Amino acid sequence: MEAGGIEIGVYLLCVLLIASNAVLLSWLGKTRKWLVWSVGLVVAEVMLCWIIPTGSLMLVLLSAICGVILFTAVTEVGDMLPAHGRAVLITGCDSGFGHDLAKMLDRAGMRVYAGVLDESGPGAQELRKVSSSQLTVLQLDVTDTNQVSAAYQFIKSQIGDAGLWGLVNNAGVLGYTCDAELLPLRILQNTLEVNFIAGALVTKVFLPMIRPAKGRIVSVSSLAGAVPFPGFAAYGASKAAVISYFGALRLELSCWGVKVAIVQPGGFKTNILGNQEGWNNIQNEILSTQAPEVIKAYGEEYICTMQQRLSNMTANACSDFRPVLDDIKHALLSERPKHFYYPGHTAWAFPFLQKVCPSWLFDALFLHMLKYDTFLPAGVTLK
């Protein structure tokens, strides 16, 4: 009877822990962000109630761990700093993530400095039209040291000793997707310059204004920076450099109270893909500048399918930027921001598969999922 009473007590304790997790889950359901993971944890506990003997200590521990995870999620979502009056500089606001983020943070009450490549362009004009007087559009080509310096002097004159709370390094280019051997070197250099070197430059220039505010630096990398996508050698290399550089900077700046976060989005539809005219020009450049033996090895038909392959890969990309914007906002305003954010359905899945699968298996699965193995160079013979 005594043993049975202990088992019943343990069972009731497990039920109580599961019920408490369910209560937390109902609160978290409002945020949507943790909903899937929370449901999975509770379902796992319920299943284990049937599989594992009632008196198992492991079940008690699992229930407790689930409760801690959910409690952490609750406090993480809730502990946000006030946005009003905090100044933030965002690069690459002509379109895409930066454009929508500038509008979101302006509505939240932040003092937004929106850097654009073309201050007379449609993106800049729309920002001026729909935003409050707290948002300032700045001409800012991140690769132009003079424009970066001018932006620094202007913002410093505006905010004075208060310092700059946030810097979002968002500006970026895709360059061109093709096999690395075919990629013109100038495109590789430009992609590294815009996506990596320019972000390091802007950060270096503005750190004297961020340090006194004990502010935040958020850099947008990419899933391609964590996993080597075929055809994305230049873009992936530039984004991998972002992860490494700003990861080191996070450690170095921690003693100053400055927090650094890296956002690695999955597949989202942005204007980074460029336009038909630009792609046609680069395609013609490849065909006219490569050595004859290289053109023969790959074949003109293969080279001309590169843009179609990109279109196939991005056909199911998400057009809702909200997950990315929410993560950047959290990185800027949470009391305990994460070091890494992975918005998007595939942002965590591919890196996870790469870590747990043997290389040969991951490569085979990855190429098949991307349908990259349906296009082969002319000189490749199937075994």
Residues 214-248: tens digit of each pLDDT? 999 999 999 989 998 888 999 999 999 999 999 99
Length of the chain: 383
Kindly list the domain boundaries of the chain, sorted by start residue. Answer: 2-78, 87-374
Q: Which residue has the higher pLDDT, 75 or 208?
A: 208
DSSP string covering 258-296, please?
A: -EEEEE---SB--GGG--HHHHHHHHHHHHHHS-HHHHH
pLDDT-wise least confident of 61-65, 67-71, 131-135, 364-368? 67-71
The confidence score (pLDDT) of residue 268 equals 67
Residues 42-56: tens digit of each pLDDT? 556 555 555 555 445
From the list 235, 245, 302, 341, the catalytic residue is: 235
d(CA 266, CA 97): 13
The confidence score (pLDDT) of residue 28 equals 47
DSSP-based three-state secondary structure for 254: helix
Residues 154-210: tens digit of each pLDDT? 999 999 888 999 999 999 998 888 899 999 999 999 999 999 999 999 999 999 999
The confidence score (pLDDT) of residue 56 equals 52
CA proximity to 322, closest of 48, 62, 104: 104
Query: What is the residue-averaged pLDDT of the chain?
Result: 83
Mean pLDDT, rounded, for 329-347? 91
The yes-or-no verdict on residue 149 having pLDDT over 90 is: yes
Is 152 annotated as catalytic? no
The confidence score (pLDDT) of residue 52 equals 54
Q: Which residue has the higher pLDDT, 181 or 26?
A: 181
The yes-or-no verdict on residue 327 having pLDDT over 70 is: yes
Whether domain 87-374 has CATH 3.40.50.720: yes
Give the pairing of strands 111-116 and 166-169.
unpaired
Residues 127-148: tens digit of each pLDDT? 999 999 999 999 999 999 999 9
Q: Which residue has the higher pLDDT, 335 or 2?
A: 335
Q: What are all long-range contacts of 79-85, with beta carbons under 8 Å and residues at least 24 apart?
A: 79/334, 79/335, 79/336, 80/330, 80/333, 80/334, 80/335, 81/333, 81/334, 81/335, 82/109, 82/333, 83/108, 83/109, 83/110, 83/333, 84/108, 84/109, 84/110, 85/109, 85/110, 85/111
Output b/e per residue, 93-116; b: 16+ Cβ within 10 A.
Answer: bbbbbbbbbbbbbbebebbbbbbb
The confidence score (pLDDT) of residue 328 equals 97
Run of H or E residues at 116: strand 111-116
Q: Which range, 202-216, 224-238, 270-284, 338-352, is most confident?
A: 202-216
Give the pairing of strands 166-169 and 135-139.
unpaired
What is the percent of the chain with per-residue pLDDT over 70, rounded to a whole number? 73
The yes-or-no verdict on residue 115 having pLDDT over 70 is: yes
Sign of CA dihedral 309, 317, 175, 246: negative
The confidence score (pLDDT) of residue 368 equals 77
